[in-house]
A and B are shown apart, each in its own frame.
Chain A
Amino acid sequence: MTAARRIGEVILKLDNISLSFGGVKALTDISVDVREHEIRAIIGPNGAGKSSLLNVINGVYHPQQGTISFRGEVRRDMNTHQAATQGIARTFQNIALFKGMSVLDNIMTGRNLKMHATFLEQAIYVGRARREELENRHKVEEVIDFLEIQHIRKTPVGRLPYGLQKRVELARALAAEPSLLLLDEPMAGMNVEEKQDMCRFVLDVNEQFGTTIVLIEHDMGVVMDISDRVVVLDYGKKIADGPPDAVRGDKAVIDAYLGVAH
């Protein structure tokens, strides 16, 4: 990691979070914190509760117990609109883009919260609507340039290969200029070259914009290479938390991943 990136104070803190769906306990008594500017990885076997944890952070799921504090504000739970207005953006494990719309339009939707013009103003494209459109388009073009997807700007998303769709999803999240970015398996299903590109983009985002990143990833090589701290979940419980090297050697983690004779 470069010297210029300073990892700061804790900005997001989950305390004793428990989440269940009927009798299924997705998360049990989990406490995790995220520091400003860091890359925080969540790993764990299938069904460990990783995505549930992200969903709790940005308010898709409401935990039965515990509190979430984000930038000093303590809440019982988040709701999605609060999360978005406070600068939390995310991507999804199974891509959630508008397939029939162009890449450009998809990324423009990421600017939704920055637009204040009324429906009528937008319909006739005058005054505020025009100015906002230009500003937002400029920002979107910066993101397109940053992620090197100029060549697919006008292509409908549905026609793109998977790896590029993932990149477009990241672009839409970045368009919202988030301070906290949640990435749900950004590299799943990619080939080696696409993974390398994605790693570089994640690191660049973190370095260039100082964005705090929480990511779920299965590729251990990637996680160990790019994250500052790793939290490990297994069956909804936290079994380890710390820097990559410490986590890699942790007995509980090895058992969870490799299985253990009972």
Chain B
Amino acid sequence: MPASNAGPDATFPRLLLQHAAQRGNRPATREKDLGIWQTWTWSQVAADVRALACGLAAQGFQRGMHLAIIGDNRPRLYWSMAAAQALGGVPVPMYQDAPAAEFVYVLNDAEIAYAVVEDQEQVDKMQESLPQVPTLRHIYYDDPRGLRNYEGVTSFDRLLEIGREFDRAHPDFFDAEVAKGRPEDVSVMLYTSGTTGKPKGVRQTHRAFIAAADGARGFDALGPDDSILSYLPMAWVGDHLFSYAQWVVAGFTINCPESGETVMTDLREIGPTYYFAPPRVFENLLTQVMIRMEDASALKRALFHYFTALARRCGPEILDGKPVAVGDRLLYFVGNVLIYGPLRNVLGMSRIRVAYTAGAAIGPDLFRFYRSIGINLKQFYGSTETCAYVCLQPDRGVRFDTVGNPAPGVELKIAESGEVLVRGPMLLKEYYRRPDATAESIDADGYFHTGDAGFFDDGGQLKIIDRAKDVGKLSSGAMYAPNYIENKLKFFPHIKEAVVFGNARDKVCAFINIDLGSVGNWAERRGIAYSGYTDLAAKPEVYKLIGECVETVNAELAHEGSLADSQIHRFLILHKELDPDDDELTRTRKVRRGFVGEKYAVLIDALYSGKTEQHIETLVRFEDGRSGMVAADLRIAEAGTQSA
């Protein structure tokens, strides 16, 4: 592993230029285009960033301005970030799948005048927002398809040309601008997902993100030979850390998939060495494997089940270097040749050295499965305000129910209320134009209040149980941690989403969303016909299936002391999937508890009033922006509970 590049006066543009000087011919970025992986070296990237920055400057972009970046993970969008930073500007990546109405708030809040977007879809949304966003003047697009006759927008290629011309006329401009940059300048503004209220712009400095990226680089020995797939939303702090900050700090290669639908194929072709995915991605992968195994020949199925059972028994221990019986070790070796190796290959994980998951709790079975087949899957903990860098699990110290030890350079303590407090170089500078919120979240000692409740386990690893504000009490006075219960429910492959209620009430009840893929497949194998989500969700057989899951959770809760009172008494299966387009989930797919509670108040009343059925009509927004009504009569089921 090469030593750290990140000196005390490092900024992202300086690091980028350093890579171009030191290893100019090494691949920096790849993108699959027209079926072929195209490669850009560090010196090519640096040249394009230079042209881009000059182009933006020629168009009037100045120090301190914000540059909106909207689109799927495209190399040029990442370079735009560096170009904005080189000029002392601040990139503001935004969620690309949000409708125009949601853009308006952020565009106005950040006073966006310049935007770099991916394609026609995003240009359309920008132009739709224009009347409400008086500051927005310049829109640049990457993919020209369908945009030939648009007015008032500029192509990326044209911007590069403008930049090269400007550069020829002012050859010293770019270097002087980069030299002006200071590590304490704001390097990026990321908007919080807005689980509560309007999104807030989190301003991070070069120093903070470089510290976070460099800490992780040292921790996992990342270097120029590593390679990752960049496929998570660019507006998410996780992607900014892994695909941008660590990319520039460690100097590895980022690979941009051809399209959102080809990620699985692209993953296999690239074979990344370093991988990051939220738990739902790992879950989907495993579900796909399981479904395909059901269709495999009897011999293959038998081998698969035999060896995965063996792996569950001793795989994680072998990965952790713990003592394992010689017989099991030999069998595991055979399994590795016959099953685990090929399976890792199918998953695109043959070369993975380090894989991380975060963003939500991961099911123990799921987590153990990946580790058992030899994939070094670990967890970390962090948030937008901490550059996604607070705790990391070390190799050989991996547990499914913790998020790891404090990362290098991070101080961590637990408040009396149980809230997790952190301090370190990776903390946010401020919330944009929200001094009240900044003052509220950072205390006098410089600790940031994460809003998460947790504790240290015996091994000194942090365990998160819930959002601090969500932890409440039942009317009996017993502790009530909704996310904890919901996560237990969501660990079942048949349950996609769950929302539980119980704060200040006498018992806990739940809304369930079934997983259409998994339950659908289950239904098909049993010959149960259904027409769609709503129909399937109402089937008595499905209620029975989900009821069994709920009762399993109740049995676990019964043995968890103070949480025994939180067993679920009644539940219903919602007639529609919770969806960010209907504001029920955030863009990062977290449930907006308060909103769901209000929207479905009639269902909650029914749960607590003892009714067995409730009629409901819900407004649904489709992907194309139109909306319609969905009506259903929902059955409410009782679940068995256990005494502690």
Q: Which residues of A contact B (CB under 8 A)?
A: 2-4, 137-138, 141-142, 144-146, 148, 150-151, 153-154, 193, 196, 204, 207-208
Docked pose: A124 CA to B371 CA in angstroms: 46
State the Cβ distance, B149 to closest chain A Cβ, in Å.
5
Name the CB-closest residue of A to B263. Answer: A151
Which 9 A-B pairs rank lowest in CB-CB distance, beginning with the nearest? A151-B261, A141-B34, A2-B149, A141-B35, A151-B262, A150-B258, A4-B149, A150-B259, A150-B262
Q: Which residues of B contact A138 (CB under 8 A)?
A: 34
Interface membership of B146, Cβ < 8 A: yes
- The answer to whether residues A142 and B624 also contact, given A4-B148, A204-B146, A207-B148 and a CB cut-off of 8 A, is no
Contact B259 A144 (CB under 8 A): no
Q: Which residues of A contact B170 (CB under 8 A)?
A: none
State the Cβ distance, B28 to closest chain A Cβ, in Å.
23
Contact A150 B261 (CB under 8 A): yes
Which residues B103-156 have CB closer than 8 A to chain A?
A: 145-146, 148-149
Q: Which residues of B contact A154 (CB under 8 A)?
A: 265
Interface membership of B598, Cβ < 8 A: no
Q: Which residues of A contact B265 (CB under 8 A)?
A: 151, 154
Q: Which residues of A contact B34 (CB under 8 A)?
A: 138, 141-142, 144-145
Contact A151 B624 (CB under 8 A): no
Q: List 28 A-B contacts (CB under 8 A).
A: A2-B149, A3-B149, A4-B148, A4-B149, A137-B35, A141-B34, A141-B35, A141-B36, A142-B34, A144-B34, A145-B33, A148-B259, A150-B258, A150-B259, A150-B262, A151-B258, A151-B259, A151-B261, A151-B265, A153-B35, A154-B265, A193-B623, A193-B624, A196-B624, A207-B146, A207-B148, A208-B146, A208-B148
Q: Apart from A145-B33, A154-B265, list 7 A-B contacts with CB within 8 A.
A: A137-B35, A141-B35, A144-B35, A148-B259, A151-B261, A207-B146, A208-B146
Q: Which residues of A contact B33 (CB under 8 A)?
A: 145
Q: Which residues of B contact A193 (CB under 8 A)?
A: 622-624
State the Cβ distance, B256 to closest chain A Cβ, in Å.
13
Q: Main secondary structure on chain A at its contact with chain B?
A: helix
State the Cβ distance, B295 to closest chain A Cβ, in Å.
12
Q: Which residues of A contact B261 (CB under 8 A)?
A: 150-151
Docked pose: A138 CA to B34 CA in angstroms: 7
Q: Which residues of B contact A153 (CB under 8 A)?
A: 35
Q: Which of A2, A4, A145, A193 has the most CB of B within 10 A?
A: A145
State the Cβ distance, A178 to closest chain B Cβ, in Å.
19
Q: Which residues of B contact A146 (CB under 8 A)?
A: 145
Name the CB-closest residue of B to A196. Answer: B624
Which residues B317-373 have CB closer than 8 A to chain A?
A: none
Name the CB-closest residue of A to B34. Answer: A141
Contact A208 B145 (CB under 8 A): yes
State the Cβ distance, A149 to closest chain B Cβ, in Å.
9
Docked pose: A25 CA to B634 CA in angstroms: 57
Q: 0/1 per residue, B250-272, Cβ < 8 Å to A?
A: 00000000110110010000000
Q: Which residues of A contact B149 (CB under 8 A)?
A: 2-4, 207
State the Cβ distance, A153 to closest chain B Cβ, in Å.
7
Docked pose: A260 CA to B264 CA in angstroms: 56
Name the CB-closest residue of B to A140. Answer: B35
Q: Which residues of A contact B622 (CB under 8 A)?
A: 193
Docked pose: A146 CA to B34 CA in angstroms: 10
State the Cβ distance, B415 to closest chain A Cβ, in Å.
47
State the Cβ distance, A118 to closest chain B Cβ, in Å.
26
State the Cβ distance, B551 to closest chain A Cβ, in Å.
37
Docked pose: A115 CA to B145 CA in angstroms: 28
State the Cβ distance, B151 to closest chain A Cβ, in Å.
10
Q: Which residues of B contact A204 (CB under 8 A)?
A: 145-146
Docked pose: A142 CA to B33 CA in angstroms: 9
Q: Which residues of A contact B262 (CB under 8 A)?
A: 150-151
Name the CB-closest residue of A to B258. Answer: A150
Q: Which residues of A contact B259 (CB under 8 A)?
A: 148, 150-151
Q: Which residues of A contact B146 (CB under 8 A)?
A: 204, 207-208
Docked pose: A46 CA to B622 CA in angstroms: 33
Docked pose: A150 CA to B35 CA in angstroms: 8
Q: Which of A2, A3, A150 has the most CB of B within 10 A?
A: A150
Docked pose: A208 CA to B145 CA in angstroms: 8
Which residues B249-298 have CB closer than 8 A to chain A?
A: 258-259, 261-262, 265
Which residues B534-563 have CB closer than 8 A to chain A?
A: none
State the Cβ distance, B589 to closest chain A Cβ, in Å.
21
Q: Which residues of B contact A207 (CB under 8 A)?
A: 146, 148-149
Q: Which residues of B contact A151 (CB under 8 A)?
A: 258-259, 261-262, 265
